[in-house]
Amino acid sequence: MRKSELISLVALALIGVIALIMGRFGARAMQDSVIERARDNLAIIGFSDIEVSADGLVVEIAGKVRSSNDHDVVLGTIQNMTGVARIVDNVFVVEPLMDGTPLKLVLQRDGQAVTLTGEAPNFESRDLLAAQAELLRGEAEFLNLMKAQDRGSAPDWFIAAEATIDAVSALRVGRGEVFENKVVIVGAAIDGAARDEILAMLQARLPSKYTQELEISAPPPLLSPYVFSARMNADGIDIGRCAVPDARLRSVVAGAVKSAGRKLVDERAQTCVIAHGAPNEQWSDAVVRSIEAMTTLQEGAVRIVDDQVLIEGFVAKGADITAATERVMEGWPAPYHVQTSIREILPFVRPYSLTAIKRPSEVSLRGHAPHESRVETWGKILGVEPDLKLARGEPPEWEMAVEIGLERLASLKIGALTVVGRSLILAAPGDLAERKQMELGLRGRLPSGYAVEVIAADEPQFLGASTETAEALENLPVTDHRPVFIVSHQDGQPALVRGVVADPASRATVSAYAHAKFGRMADLSALEVRPQADLPLGWQRALFASLDALSVLSQGEVMVEPGAAYLRGQVSKATQAHEALRTLESKLPEEFARFSRLRVEEVIALPEADGPEHLTDGACEARIKQLTAANPINFESGSSVISGDSYDVLERISRVLIRCPEAQFIVGGHTDASGSEEDNLSLSQKRAGQVRVALVRRGVDPGQLMAQGFGESRPIASNETASGRARNRRIEFKISR
């Protein structure tokens, strides 16, 4: 080919390419022009928020309109102006509801779909909640049918809705509903720990005006060891710890008690924990046999731990202990190994008491003990030969309470300890703050239901008074039938009423009076009718007077026995103490002497860390946040010395931390912006360190806590106002991630 022909061909090709480019450019320009005109026309008719874009022969529209008719207008406008065959329609109809329609959110989650319906206060809230709910979908279909009202914000409702979506997200399957003052959640959690974490999260996040209706189930936990325990006395059988593999076996426990001709002291057998982990298929047979074995004794106790059984009890004086032991050992399923401790019955004592005195010239220990082994052990703690009488009648876990008190007394140079029933009084040297800290330490270690008070031992007359108290208690007649009436009211728990009345009519009257004073939750299951009791003149009037006086106290205990009434407890104002004493003085029959020990002290109401024995890390963090929000940890001005008014909240925090032993927390100290940045950092570190030390002293594992000061670097409020600076001065507990 000649050179001239080649040049002609190249020129023609270039002309073709240029024409093609110009054609495409012209088409693109024409398309852009059409799209721009379409946008302008939509804006003219009131739809400026609709987005229009094009890619070749495909046009995409997106946005929101208020009605189906508006949607048809937008779609028709685009079709008429562009003439394209395919339109991608992403325009949604969101019809606003009339103002005043109740707000509502319903979130349903199952294995196939996540569905969101209801009415939000505005479009922004609707979109935010829908985006949060869509995160639950995973591989499932997400269907958003939620509508929006055209009103202002509803912050409490929105917070409740967010918390509910988070709760449903933690369920395997479930349904959550949010109304304007109530949250309803039904579903199944992965396990008990997850359920507890959900409950704690809702408690922490839901606004105070919202009530909760929750039905969140969880698979039974795996328990190890697997335990059943019970005690039997003249009142009946008291079920302690009780684990069963399924709900059917709950009734088996109650049925075994009834078949043995006994009654349940309370109905705890109906709430045995359903759990996996039973050591074998004969577990229910072993539980039934343990109840049968106990009833062959006058009094007894049984404890089954996996396949190991221990039965302790008493037989009548002079009875054949060998024969009694053989009866207890009969009929056990093969896998179980049984040990027994059967003795002649001891005298019955009420009130059950012990008094110890320690001073340079004398150490003494007198009172009652349930076993010879305890006499020896308690004597060794104080290094003294004890004068203890063997007797029964001790309250549950009394031995543990006595040993805790004796160990504390042994650490003092001078002091005294008196334990009467479930009340422990320790006299110790030191100032008020030191005694308060000692009291809180004891309260954290003592078994549930025990009251403790630490008073000054600097005055010699106290030790003399303790000696007189000990002698008076020891001289009480030892009898199974001594009438006594005791009411305990403390720590926000239902009042516990126990003792003796003459006949059913008196019991009904006293019960009604106690319910009137302490509410319907007052526990009167241990108030017994004893027609043969030698009740003194004015007994019932004395009972009413004691209930009246106790109802004035913030917490305390009253005991009535022939010829005397004892009142002790705590009040928040001195006027309450005077009122309680005046009530007892004026209403108690003259045949009864009155003894009292009342303490005036501000009572701090804090949420209890109730619930399962162990908590998840998240549940611990949420509960501690509740506690510190209600009662911040305070310090003396400008120092790292913890204020005395913060001891109670530290005690509560320690109880929570002990129940999540695997969790590790950063104890964060924060200050306001007053002073230099360097001084604030140092002060915050010292304060965090003091809080850590205080918690370790209350039994928290040191490895759980790391103290860190942040100074003024992380404010949560303005430092320009006094209230803001007060909020910034704080101690926070955060999980160490």
Residue 17 has pLDDT above 60, yes or no: no
The residue with tokens 């409740």 is: 160
At CA 190, angle to CA 186 and CA 194, rounded to 5?
85
Give burial (CB, 10 Å; 0-12/13-18/19+) of 521: exposed
The amino acid at 482: R
Which CA distances in Å does 642 have to 288, 486, 703? 53, 37, 22
**What pLDDT digit, counting tens, does each position of 38-66 carry?**
787 777 777 778 888 877 667 788 887 77
With CA atoms as reference, report the closest residue to 250 among 268, 280, 272, 219: 272
How high is the mean pLDDT of the chain? Answer: 78
Residue 611 has pLDDT above 70, yes or no: no
The reported pLDDT for the residue numbered 478 is: 34
β-partners of residue 388 are 367
- The H or E element that residue 11 is part of is helix 3-44
Backbone CA torsion sign across 16, 22, 26, 27: positive
The reported pLDDT for the residue numbered 436 is: 79
The reported pLDDT for the residue numbered 323 is: 92
HSE-CB of 132 using CA atoms within 13 angstroms: 20
3-state helix, strand, coil in the chain (%, to 5): 40, 30, 30
Confidence of residue 460 (pLDDT cuts 50, 70, 90): very low
Cα(731)–Cα(96) distance, rounded to whole angstroms?
46
Cα(40)–Cα(273) distance, rounded to whole angstroms?
70
Confidence of residue 448 (pLDDT cuts 50, 70, 90): low
The reported pLDDT for the residue numbered 72 is: 73
Q: What is the 3-state secondary structure (H, E, C) of 79-91?
A: HHHHCCCEEEEEE
The amino acid at 277: G
Lowest mean pLDDT among 185-189, 377-381, 509-513, 664-668: 509-513
**What pLDDT digit, counting tens, does each position of 376-433 carry?**
889 999 999 999 988 877 877 788 889 999 999 999 888 888 887 777 888 888 887 7
Residue 350 has pLDDT above 70, yes or no: no
Return the biggest CA–CA distance within the chain.
Answer: 144
Backbone CA torsion sign across 60, 62, 68, 72: negative
**What pLDDT digit, counting tens, does each position of 689-724 carry?**
888 877 876 667 767 888 888 888 888 888 888 878
**What pLDDT digit, counting tens, does each position of 364-376 carry?**
998 889 888 889 8
pTM value surpassing 0.85:
no
The reported pLDDT for the residue numbered 157 is: 92
Residue 534 has pLDDT above 60, yes or no: yes
Confidence of residue 731 (pLDDT cuts 50, 70, 90): very high
Mean pLDDT of 434-458: 78
Residue 269 has pLDDT above 70, yes or no: no
Cα(91)–Cα(522) distance, rounded to whole angstroms?
62
Q: 607, 627 in Cβ contact below 8 A? A: yes
Residue 199 has pLDDT above 60, yes or no: yes
Q: 665, 733 in Cβ contact below 8 A? A: yes
Residue 270 has pLDDT above 60, yes or no: no
The reported pLDDT for the residue numbered 736 is: 75
What's the N-to-C CA distance of the chain in angstroms?
79
Confidence of residue 179 (pLDDT cuts 50, 70, 90): very high
Cα(569)–Cα(603) distance, rounded to whole angstroms?
11
